[in-house]
């Protein structure tokens, strides 16, 4: 058991509650998850650009960058391993020797202690795959980071990433007029065609499937899509009602790169002996209001401190207060959605309602940077957030879509990722 640094009783209580709520008392799942309450600001991206998705081309020499902060007292030599998954993110039947060359686990040896930061932390970095632990097959992957050994109770975090073989050609667009005319100017329909070489002509209806993701959201992702018609090597996905996403709205944002000044989205910054508190201006629903073009980064976060600070080890943390003035949604919960919470609809992003002020409240522990977010409503018993009830629904919204094409290989049996396309809706 690792020793925790109790810097602030509110931090420890809140984070432990989140960890227990999210993880079912330590059960590791093939998702973007944090299993240790000391671990913060986990980032996984391609090369040196935080705003990229964790997607690399097989045998391209490209690598991914994983980083995170640990709020514990001491530095540890964490280890990691890589797990191959099928298109549904279930652990595949492959042995590690089938998809990894070299070692099956390695140490994370690059770490640095924070400087002049409250709370203090240790920043870890990993660039992979490495020469000693490389990837041989395409598909969906999980990287698991743990202390000593990979049993569930030792895992501190897990992250998803993709390795693609670009063997198919994808055509995708968002037409102005959807199949259902009542969606005009509201929803975004994805028109999709996939062109495959003869190599994948065997049983395309059974072996090929497609997943489509909007921005970084997993809750409303389309997966397991099958072609509706096949002509030669062209697969058409022409469903009667179309493949339709809510248009939603541009993301809200706040700039917290410095605690020395208040950016337009911040109402107040409070400096206390044990850290900072940032209070954002009160938000209001945008449904029914005219669409307004806003610059955003499609729900992502950009971890960045002042120009005179080293972000990785001098960036500081703050409790950030979100306030939404809105009537209560009976029979439903309101969540903050974005990469600031790994796109999870969980206890960390769930807002509480105050009937006297008629406002929703939520508090998050975040590192200096620039953040995007929106609000979604989740009816009781549902798992998909409805962005339209608070943010509105506009076809004009600039959404980023990712298309993944999988082919079920027979020998060995696994899902190859043979196509990937990222495009903007407009």
pLDDT digits (tens, 9 = 90+) for 242-283: 999 999 999 999 999 999 999 999 999 999 988 999 999 999
Q: What is the mean pLDDT of residues 416-420?
A: 97
3-class secondary-structure state, position 392 = coil
Is a pLDDT exceeding 90 seen at residue 232?
no
> Are the C-beta atoms of residues 14 and 7 closer than 8 Å to each other?
no
Query: How many structural domains are present in the chain?
Result: 3
- The reply to whether 318 and 195 lie within a common domain is no
Looking up residue 334, the CATH number of its domain turns out to be 2.60.40
Q: For 91-126, what is each residue's pLDDT tens digit?
A: 999 999 999 999 999 999 999 999 999 999 999 999
Radius of gyration of the chain (CA): 22
Q: For 371-380, what is each residue's pLDDT tens digit?
A: 999 999 999 9
Strand-strand pairing, 55-57 and 155-164: parallel
Q: What is the mean pLDDT of residues 317-329?
A: 98
CB count within 10 Å of CB 28 equals 21
- The reply to whether 201 and 119 lie within a common domain is no
- The reply to whether 138 and 196 lie within a common domain is no
Q: What is the mean pLDDT of residues 394-414?
A: 96
**What's the pLDDT at 23?**
39
- The reply to whether 297 and 380 lie within a common domain is yes
**What's the pLDDT at 378?**
98
Say which DSSP state 3 is in: P
Say if 125 falls within a structural domain.
yes
> Are the C-beta atoms of residues 238 and 210 closer than 8 Å to each other?
no
> Percent of the chain beyond pLDDT 90?
89
**What's the pLDDT at 48?**
86
Range of the structural domain that residue 202 is part of: 169-247+399-424
- The reply to whether 17 and 144 lie within a common domain is yes
- The reply to whether 409 and 353 lie within a common domain is no
- The reply to whether 149 and 109 lie within a common domain is yes
20 or 119: whose pLDDT is higher? 119
- The reply to whether 57 and 203 lie within a common domain is no
Band of pLDDT at residue 198, cut at 50, 70 and 90: confident
Helix (H) or strand (E) holding 334: strand 332-337
Q: For 148-185, what is each residue's pLDDT tens digit?
A: 999 999 999 999 999 999 999 999 999 999 999 999 99
Band of pLDDT at residue 2, cut at 50, 70 and 90: low
- The reply to whether 28 and 157 lie within a common domain is yes
**What's the pLDDT at 1?**
55
**What's the pLDDT at 8?**
42
> Are the C-beta atoms of residues 334 and 375 closer than 8 Å to each other?
yes
**What's the pLDDT at 163?**
98
Say if 318 falls within a structural domain.
yes
Say which DSSP state 401 is in: E
- The reply to whether 59 and 191 lie within a common domain is no
Q: For 23-44, what is each residue's pLDDT tens digit?
A: 334 689 999 999 999 999 999 9
Q: What is the mean pLDDT of residues 84-95?
A: 98
Say which DSSP state 90 is in: P
> Are the C-beta atoms of residues 156 and 29 closer than 8 Å to each other?
no
Q: What is the mean pLDDT of residues 318-342?
A: 98
**What residue spans of 77-148 are helical by DSSP H?**
96-99
- The reply to whether 157 and 184 lie within a common domain is no
**What's the pLDDT at 340?**
97
């Amino acid at each position: 058991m690792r020793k925790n640094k109790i810097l602030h009783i509110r931090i420890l209580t809140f984070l432990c509650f989140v960890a227990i709520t999210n993880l079912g008392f330590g059960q590791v799942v093939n998702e973007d998850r944090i299993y240790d309450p000391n671990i913060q600001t986990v980032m996984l991206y391609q090369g040196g650009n935080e705003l990229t998705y964790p997607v690399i081309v097989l045998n391209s020499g490209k690598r991914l960058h994983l980083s995170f902060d640990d709020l514990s007292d001491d530095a540890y030599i964490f280890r990691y391993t890589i797990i191959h998954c099928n298109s549904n993110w279930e652990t595949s039947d492959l042995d590690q020797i089938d998809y990894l060359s070299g070692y099956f686990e390695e140490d994370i040896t690059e770490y640095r202690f924070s400087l002049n930061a409250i709370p203090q932390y240790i920043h870890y970095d990993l660039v992979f795959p490495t020469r000693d632990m490389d990837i041989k097959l395409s598909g969906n992957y999980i990287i698991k980071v743990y202390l000593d050994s990979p049993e569930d109770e030792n895992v501190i975090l897990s992250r998803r990433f993709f390795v693609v073989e670009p063997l198919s050609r994808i055509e995708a667009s968002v037409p102005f007029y959807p199949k259902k005319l009542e969606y005009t100017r509201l929803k975004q329909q994805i028109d999709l065609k996939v062109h495959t070489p003869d190599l994948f002509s065997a049983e395309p209806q059974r072996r090929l499937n497609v997943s489509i993701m909007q921005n970084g959201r997993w809750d409303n992702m389309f997966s397991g899509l099958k072609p509706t018609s096949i002509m030669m090597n062209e697969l058409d996905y022409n469903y009667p009602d179309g493949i339709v996403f809510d248009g939603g709205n541009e993301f809200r944002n706040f700039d917290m790169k410095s605690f020395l000044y208040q950016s337009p989205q911040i109402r107040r910054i409070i400096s206390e002996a044990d850290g900072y508190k940032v209070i954002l201006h009160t938000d209001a629903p945008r449904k029914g209001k005219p669409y307004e073009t806003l610059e955003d980064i499609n729900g992502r976060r950009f971890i960045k401190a002042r120009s005179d600070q080293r972000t990785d080890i001098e960036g500081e943390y703050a409790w950030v207060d979100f306030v939404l003035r809105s009537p209560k949604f009976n029979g439903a919960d309101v969540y903050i959605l974005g990469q600031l919470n790994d796109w999870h609809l969980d206890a960390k992003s769930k807002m509480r309602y105050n009937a006297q002020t008629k406002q929703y409240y939520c508090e998050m522990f975040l590192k200096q940077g620039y953040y995007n977010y929106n609000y979604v409503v989740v009816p009781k018993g549902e798992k998909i957030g409805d962005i339209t009830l608070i943010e509105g629904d506009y076809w004009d919204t600039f959404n980023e879509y990712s298309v993944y094409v999988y082919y079920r290989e027979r020998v060995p049996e696994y899902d190859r990722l043979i196509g990937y396309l990222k495009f903007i809706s407009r």
